[in-house]
Structure 1
Amino acid sequence: MTTVKDIDVRGRQHCETTALGVLLRHQGLDLSEPMLFGLGSGLSFIYWDSKNMGFPFLGGRAKPFDLTRNLATTLGLDLLVQETTSPRRAWANVVAAIDADRPVGLQLDSYYLDYFGSKVHFGGHVVAMYGYDDHDAYLVDTDQQGGAVSTSLTSLAQARAARGPMTAKHRSFTLTAPRNLPSPQGQIIPAITACADAFLNPPIANLGHRGVEKAGKLVRTWLQRTDNPQRDLPQAALLMEKAGTGGALFRNLYRDFLAECTQLLDSSQLRTGHELYNEAATLWTEVAALITNAGESGDEQYLVRAGAALCDLSRIEREAMQALSCLGSERAFM
């Protein structure tokens, strides 16, 4: 068995920030999960529906791997990404990193992993790998999936080779921190304002605050959108609360990031943003509960209430991001 020495295998709530935490702690940089999420400008929103989808999807974060790219740029980290169509070369890339005593991040389809109890295809799943032997790969996944886990080399190869929405071609990556790493505190304002600007100025109506407003209008039709509302509506709500989101469709993570920032920066705009995201996080969890109730009861009134709450959320999050987008012009200090 070959493993990276002195590896910290703590799992966290979200898959990509869990993997990033493993890679960065091995580089001597130990940041909280909300801080990783926030510095990676991870918060977003998408209402995603198409003819070939069984049911609409509500997403609350940046596209898979954008968070990693953003974080590397923000912190000045060297991000080495390798992709290939060759399974043999893909395995050689991973082995080379681990043999060099470096954990490696992998993007793959969680459906094929042995330890996943819920067999749903998700090609944007990210794990950290820190060891292997003749039969198994040793990974770090979220706390929900078991933290330090193992899966057969066969299943890992299938997961990495998968094709479909959000998949990548055997993507693996490593992070290297420079010797004179600048303080993450100095990068907080650029990360927040970049996230706010993207949320406030979405290119299409399905994204950002416009997407939340659109969801508020369309969620009312969800009982007619499916032949099996008792299955599809509670599952959509479960994905919002439990599928590695940290609860409230990632709003809990962003709320906690802003709370951590208020301890580092003295800013009225930052405090306003935090207060509004505290309100938004509570309301997102209420929306998930209303969607669940609608599916279980078949009562459309729950969706009417969920739609009204989503329209409120569009306003609340827009106001929060407007305040946060002004951070660059406000004098913030310790």
Structure 2
Amino acid sequence: MTMVEGIDARGMQHCETTALGVLLRNEGLDLSEPMLFGLGSGLSFVYWDSKGMSFPFLGGRVKPFELTRSLAAVLGLELRVGETSSPRKAWQNVVAPIDAGRPVGLQLDSYHLDYFSSKVHFGGHVVAMYGYDEHDAYLVDTAPQGGAVSTSLAGLARARAERGPMTARHRSFTITAPENLTSPRKRIIPAIKTCADAFLHPPIANLGHRGIEKTAGQVLKWLQRSDNPREDLPQAALLMERAGTGGALFRNLYRDFLAECAQLIDSSHLRTAHSLYTEAASLWTQVAALIATAGESGDAKNLMQAGSLLHELSRIERDAMQELSKL
């Protein structure tokens, strides 16, 4: 058995920030999950629907692995990424750092992991790996998935090799912190402004505040859009609240990030944005509940209510991001 010594195998709410936490703590940098999410400019919004999809998808964060790249860039960390189509080379990319005492981040499809209770294909899942033996890999996943967990090497190989939406070719990565690390506190404002700018000026109408406004109109048709509304609508609500989002489609995490920032930086813009995101987080949880109830009851009135809350959310989040862009 080969293990990285002294790993702090703490599971958090969201998969990518959980893995980043493990890798950074091993480098002597211990940041809260909201701070990791915010410094990585992780908050976003996407409404995604296409002919090939059985039901629309609402996303509340940037694309998989973008958060990791942003966080490394903003803190001046050395991010080494391996991608390959060769399973043998992919395994070498993992065991070499672990043998040298460094945990490794992996992007894979959670469907093939032994400990996952819900068997759904999601190719953007991220875990940290810190050890292995002849049969199993030792991983850190989110707290809801068990924190420190293990899966068979065969299952891990399948999860890494899977192709499809959001997958990457056996992606693995390590992080090294320089000796003269930039103070995270000094990087807060640039990270916030990057996030606000992307949210306020989306290139297409499916993203940012425009995406939320678009969803307000689309959600009214969701009972007709689905072949199985009793399943699809509650599932959509569950993904918003529980699927590694920290609740309220990542808005709880961003609210807590802004609260942490407001204690470090004296700014009325930060305080205003924090109170707006506190309101937004609570409304997103209400929207999820209304969508679930609409699916269970078949009553479109719930979707009308959800639509009007989404109109409100588009305005609230736009106002909050406008405050943050003034920092």
TM-score normalised by structure 2 residue count: 1.00
Q: How does 1:120-135 map to 2 (within 5 A)?
A: 120-135=120-135
* Counterpart for residue 65 of structure 1: 65
Residue type at the aligned position of 2:153: L
> What is the CA-CA distance between 1:180 and the residue it aligns to?
1.0
Q: Distance in 1 between matches of 2:75 and 2:24?
A: 11
| CA deviations over 1:271-312 (Å, ceiling 9, x no partner) | 111010000000000000000000000000000000000010
* Counterpart for residue 222 of structure 1: 222
Q: Distance in 1 between matches of 2:288 and 2:182?
A: 39
* Counterpart for residue 33 of structure 1: 33
Q: Distance in 1 between matches of 2:179 and 2:36?
A: 19
Residue type at the aligned position of 1:238: L
Q: Distance in 2 between matches of 1:121 and 1:163?
A: 10
- Identity among equivalent positions (%) equals 77
| CA deviations over 1:178-203 (Å, ceiling 9, x no partner) | 00112100000000000000000000
* Counterpart for residue 55 of structure 2: 55
* Counterpart for residue 321 of structure 1: 321
CA RMSD in angstroms, aligned pairs only: 0.3
Q: How does 1:198-217 map to 2 (within 5 A)?
A: 198-217=198-217
Residue type at the aligned position of 1:121: H
* Counterpart for residue 153 of structure 1: 153
| CA deviations over 1:226-274 (Å, ceiling 9, x no partner) | 1110000000000000000000000000000000000000000011110
Q: Distance in 2 between matches of 1:311 and 1:182?
A: 39
Is 2:102 the counterpart of 1:102?
Answer: yes
Q: Distance in 2 between matches of 1:100 and 1:314?
A: 48
Is 2:183 the counterpart of 1:183?
Answer: yes
Which blocks of at least 5 consecutive residues in structure 1 are unaligned?
328-334
Q: Distance in 2 between matches of 1:203 and 1:227?
A: 31
* Counterpart for residue 111 of structure 2: 111
Q: Distance in 2 between matches of 1:311 and 1:165?
A: 29
Q: Distance in 1 between matches of 2:317 and 2:301?
A: 24
| CA deviations over 1:10-41 (Å, ceiling 9, x no partner) | 00000000000000000000000000000000
Q: How does 1:135-150 map to 2 (within 5 A)?
A: 135-150=135-150
TM-score normalised by structure 1 residue count: 0.98
Q: Distance in 1 between matches of 2:190 and 2:230?
A: 43
Runs of 4+ in 1 over 6 A off after TM superposition: none
Secondary structure in 2 aligned to 1:60?
Answer: strand
* Count of matched residue pairs: 327
Q: Distance in 1 between matches of 2:18 and 2:48?
A: 25
Secondary structure in 1 aligned to 2:173?
Answer: strand
Is 2:252 the counterpart of 1:252?
Answer: yes
* Counterpart for residue 281 of structure 1: 281
